[in-house]
């Protein structure tokens, strides 16, 4: 692109001035002049732009003022040297005289001095040096013979006084930026060097804001001293999606585009950048993180190409899909269920719509367990980004609330809680860091003996197991949850906080006519620290406090249980107690060890807040559980494709120890 940088129109040379840019051979009666070349359109070098992934748009040129070099060319032996008797500086006829300070700048720039000799090359260098000061739009020199030597007169045309600097083509340029950059030049004679420096500073402003494609593509000026900067900020003309094959290419061996499973809109709807907006590197990086968080892609990057208008850009999101489906099968033998087989199927990108479908089945001699679930993270293109989840399940677990007293084998005496039901929920973001969800769930809860073949009304100590007294209850729960997440990194936070609160209101229907309201809240805060000198990675102090309570009917199996890997570490599951209310405090010091391995020092404390006796049958009191306890210890975190693998070794305040395992942090 050639850019017109001719700011000011030079005056016509007088009849006594020659227009040749070089000195001719010296003549006896008169020396011909040298003249600075009038500024011409130039093709400036490409501006430097931060590297972009994939195939970045070729950076357009940025306007620069190219001033003549002030380095004298080496004199040739053929050049004639003449003695300078006088040096004068004048403005063309009809122009006001130069201010003294501007005249002094010329004397300082030239090497032609009275009493010295001068050549054609030296005079041309002086012309270039005067022009290079940036204050003049035309510079000429006229030598003529006098009785005392050659008189050299420099005729100079200064630039006009700069009255204003304006911009056109801007959408994201903040008010006052141009005034801040060019304000000190207003009211002074225009200096091309200062204008050029201001242009570079304006482009740096765009770069610092993330607008890496922005540039000044033209500079228009008037003889009256007004400058208009034409800005190309990098408008997005179009956004496309391309799929990458194993070779990292978007076309196959036959030159055809690589096809993918994921539908384009699944990717583009995650982008905050839109057609017609200005390309911003910081925004695009955040968008790429959101697309990658979908879990559908192995790799992705952004490609840039010129649009139909060279001042616009076409953005291409290049994605490499990963395998999103899996199936597994297995078999086993259990003393409680006998021989059993399992089948698991997972599809994370059903129909290319980022919908998730999962099915887990366990078939045993005495039971059939299953969990069929479906999730649409963005329901029907809803502008509010509502997600939908539904499932049907039949689950069975041993209860740590009704675990057997010491000395009795748990598997032979602990009842099992079987839950057969279905539910659905809707979730919606309320802001950049806030979400809320609403759902409904129905369960038929059945308490069976350890062999899972008979309904039990009481446990081994004679305590009631259900609200109905028959060993079976119906639960119809209306659920609501709210969360606000201000963490710097949801996976490995080092600063910020997260708050969650959830409530469930049961509707009394069916067996037990359970009418309860359960509330549970959790707050975590993270502080960056540097207690030790590790080579890499963040050190963090993490604190969590959570509490909950149940109002109304409380089936014993719905009590809060304390102790275990997700409660108070160092204690076995449920061994601290079970109550109508609870409170847990946890503190961790998280630090890097090396590469993908991190360490944790932790402390946990939990209490049932004296509410054990308000649980029907007081199962915790009947088993002599203390109701409160603490634990401390050390843990290891290993980063894996499945997430952070957690291994903790805890020592309980009762003197017991416990190894616990899990995925992800405790909070």
Q: What are the tens digits of pLDDT across the range 227-283?
A: 999 999 999 999 999 999 988 888 888 889 999 999 999 999 999 999 999 999 999
pLDDT at 25 over 60: no
Least confident of 332-341, 367-376, 526-535, 630-639: 332-341
Categorise residue 492: left if φ over 0, alpha if ψ from -120 to 50, beta otherwise: beta
Average pLDDT, the chain: 85
Tens of pLDDT along 47-106? 333 333 333 333 444 444 445 555 555 555 568 899 999 999 999 888 888 999 999 999
Instruction: Give the residue from 485, 486, 591, 487 showing the smallest Cα distance to 529.
Output: 591
Q: Residue 175 — pLDDT band, cuts 50, 70, 90?
A: very high
E strand segments, 264-337: 297-306, 312-321, 325-334
Tens of pLDDT along 466-498? 999 999 999 999 999 999 999 998 888 999 999
pLDDT at 462 over 90: no
Q: How many Å apart are CA 314 and CA 58, to the nearest integer?
A: 12
pLDDT at 323 over 50: yes
Question: Between these two residues, 123 and 452, which has the higher pLDDT value?
Answer: 123
pLDDT given for residue 456 in this prediction: 82
Locus of tokens 């208009």: 228
pLDDT given for residue 534 in this prediction: 76
Instruction: Give the residue from 567, 542, 534 showing the smallest Cα distance to 487.
Output: 542
Q: How many Å apart are CA 504 and CA 514, to the nearest integer?
A: 12
Please report, rounded to a whole number, the percentage of residues in the chain having pLDDT higher than 70: 86
DSSP secondary structure letter of residue 202: H
pLDDT given for residue 72 in this prediction: 53
pLDDT at 660 over 50: yes
Q: How many Å apart are CA 547 and CA 611, to the nearest integer?
A: 13
Q: Are 65 and 92 in contact (CB under 8 A)?
A: no
Q: Return all residues near 294 (Cβ < 8 A) that are at least 6 apart.
A: 266, 270, 354, 377
**Geometric angle at alpha carbon 181, from 179 and 182, rounded to 5°:** 65
Residue 366 in 3-state DSSP?
coil
pLDDT at 27 over 50: no
Q: How many Å apart are CA 60 and CA 44, to the nearest integer?
A: 10
pLDDT given for residue 38 in this prediction: 39
pLDDT given for residue 36 in this prediction: 42
pLDDT given for residue 405 in this prediction: 56
pLDDT given for residue 511 in this prediction: 95
Q: In DSSP terms, which residues pair with 535 in a beta bridge? A: none
**Segment 575-583 mean pLDDT:** 97
Q: Return all residues near 254 (Cβ < 8 A) that are at least 6 apart.
A: none
Q: Residue 362 — pLDDT band, cuts 50, 70, 90?
A: very high
Q: Are 425 and 439 in contact (CB under 8 A)?
A: yes
All domains in the chain, ordered by first residue: 1-209+217-227 (no CATH), 235-321 (3.10.20.310), 378-663 (2.40.160.50)
Could you tell me the two tokens for 358?
A: 């999962």
Q: How many Å apart are CA 465 and CA 468, to the nearest integer?
A: 9
Q: Return all residues near 101 (Cβ < 8 A) that are at least 6 apart.
A: none
pLDDT given for residue 53 in this prediction: 36
pLDDT given for residue 29 in this prediction: 30
Q: Residue 37 — pLDDT band, cuts 50, 70, 90?
A: very low
Q: How many Å apart are CA 259 and CA 250, to the nearest integer?
A: 9
**Segment 167-182 mean pLDDT:** 94
**Segment 539-565 mean pLDDT:** 96
pLDDT given for residue 40 in this prediction: 33
Please report, rounded to a whole number, the percentage of residues in the chain having pLDDT higher than 90: 70
pLDDT at 407 over 60: no
Question: Between these two residues, 506 and 640, which has the higher pLDDT value?
Answer: 506
Tens of pLDDT along 186-195? 999 999 999 9
Could you tell me the two tokens for 318?
A: 């290049």
Q: Are 201 and 185 in contact (CB under 8 A)?
A: no
Q: How many Å apart are CA 574 and CA 615, to the nearest integer?
A: 15
Question: Between these two residues, 637 and 59, which has the higher pLDDT value?
Answer: 637
Highest mean pLDDT: which range of 41-50, 336-345, 562-571: 562-571
Q: Are 448 and 418 in contact (CB under 8 A)?
A: yes
pLDDT given for residue 220 in this prediction: 92
**Segment 368-375 mean pLDDT:** 96
Q: Residue 644 — pLDDT band, cuts 50, 70, 90?
A: confident
pLDDT at 14 over 60: no
Q: How many Å apart are CA 302 and CA 336, to the nearest integer?
A: 54
pLDDT at 42 over 60: no
**Segment 564-587 mean pLDDT:** 96
Q: Residue 643 — pLDDT band, cuts 50, 70, 90?
A: confident
């Amino acid at each position: 692109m050639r850019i017109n940088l001719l700011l000011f129109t030079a005056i016509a040379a007088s009849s006594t001035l020659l227009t040749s840019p070089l000195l001719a051979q010296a003549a006896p009666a008169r020396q011909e002049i040298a003249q600075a070349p009038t500024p011409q359109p130039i093709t400036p070098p490409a501006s430097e732009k931060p590297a972009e992934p994939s195939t970045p748009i070729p950076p357009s040129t940025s306007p620069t003022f190219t001033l003549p070099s002030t380095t004298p060319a080496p004199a040739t032996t053929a050049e004639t040297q003449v003695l300078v008797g006088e040096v004068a500086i004048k403005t063309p006829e009809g122009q006001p005289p130069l201010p003294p300070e501007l005249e002094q700048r010329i004397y300082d720039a030239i090497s032609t001095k009275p009493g010295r000799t001068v050549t054609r090359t030296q005079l041309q260098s002086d012309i270039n040096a005067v022009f290079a000061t940036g204050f003049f739009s035309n510079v000429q020199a006229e030598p003529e013979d006098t009785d005392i030597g050659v008189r050299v007169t420099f005729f100079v045309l200064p630039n006009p006084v700069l009255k204003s600097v304006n911009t056109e083509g801007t959408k994201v340029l903040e008010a006052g930026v141009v005034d801040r950059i060019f304000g000190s030049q207003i009211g002074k004679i225009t200096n091309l060097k200062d204008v050029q420096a201001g242009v570079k500073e304006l482009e740096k402003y765009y770069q610092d804001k993330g607008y890496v494609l922005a540039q000044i593509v033209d500079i228009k000026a008037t003889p009256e001293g007004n400058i208009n900067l034409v800005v190309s900020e990098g408008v997005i003309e179009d956004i496309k999606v391309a799929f990458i094959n194993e070779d990292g290419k978007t076309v196959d061996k036959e030159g055809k585009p690589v096809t993918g499973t994921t539908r384009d809109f699944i990717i583009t709807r995650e982008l905050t950048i839109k057609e017609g907006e200005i390309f911003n590197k910081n925004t695009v990086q955040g968008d790429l993180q959101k697309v990658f968080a979908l879990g559908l892609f192995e790799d992705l990057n952004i490609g840039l190409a010129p649009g139909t208008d060279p001042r616009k850009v076409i953005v291409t999101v290049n994605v490499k899909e990963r395998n999103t489906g899996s199936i597994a099968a297995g078999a086993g033998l259990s003393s409680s269920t006998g021989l059993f087989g399992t089948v698991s199927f997972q599809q994370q990108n059903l129909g290319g719509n980022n919908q998730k479908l999962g099915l887990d089945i366990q078939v045993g001699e005495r039971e059939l367990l299953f969990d069929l679930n479906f999730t649409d993270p963005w329901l029907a293109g809803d502008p509010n980004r509502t997600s939908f989840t539904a499932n049907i399940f039949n689950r069975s677990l041993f209860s740590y609330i009704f675990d057997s007293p010491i000395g009795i084998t748990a598997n032979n005496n602990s009842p099992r809680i079987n839950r057969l039901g279905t539910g659905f929920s809707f979730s919606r973001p309320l802001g950049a860091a806030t979400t809320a969800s609403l759902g409904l769930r129905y369960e038929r809860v059945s308490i069976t003996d350890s062999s899972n073949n008979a309904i039990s009304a009481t446990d081994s100590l004679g305590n009631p197991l259900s609200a109905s007294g028959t060993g079976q209850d119906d639960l119809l729960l209306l659920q609501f949850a709210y969360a606000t997440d201000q963490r710097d990194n949801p996976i490995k936070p080092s600063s910020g906080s997260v708050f969650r609160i959830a409530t469930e209101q049961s509707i009394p229907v069916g067996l037990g006519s359970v009418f309860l309201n359960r509330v549970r809240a959790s707050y975590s805060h993270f502080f960056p620290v540097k207690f030790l000198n590790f080579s890499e990675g963040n050190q963090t102090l993490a604190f969590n406090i959570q509490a909950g309570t149940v109002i109304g009917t409380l089936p014993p199996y719905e009590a809060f249980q304390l102790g275990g890997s997700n409660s108070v570490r160092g204690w076995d599951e449920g061994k601290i107690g079970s109550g109508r209310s609870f409170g847990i405090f946890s503190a961790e010091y998280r630090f890097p060890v090396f590469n993908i391995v991190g360490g944790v020092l932790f402390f946990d404390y939990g209490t049932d807040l004296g509410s054990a006796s308000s649980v029907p049958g007081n199962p915790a009191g009947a088993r002599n559980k203390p109701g409160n306890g603490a634990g401390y210890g050390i843990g290891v975190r290993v980063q894996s494709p499945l997430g952070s693998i957690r291994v903790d070794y805890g020592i309980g305040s009762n003197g017991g120890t416990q190894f616990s395992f899990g995925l992800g942090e405790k909070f």
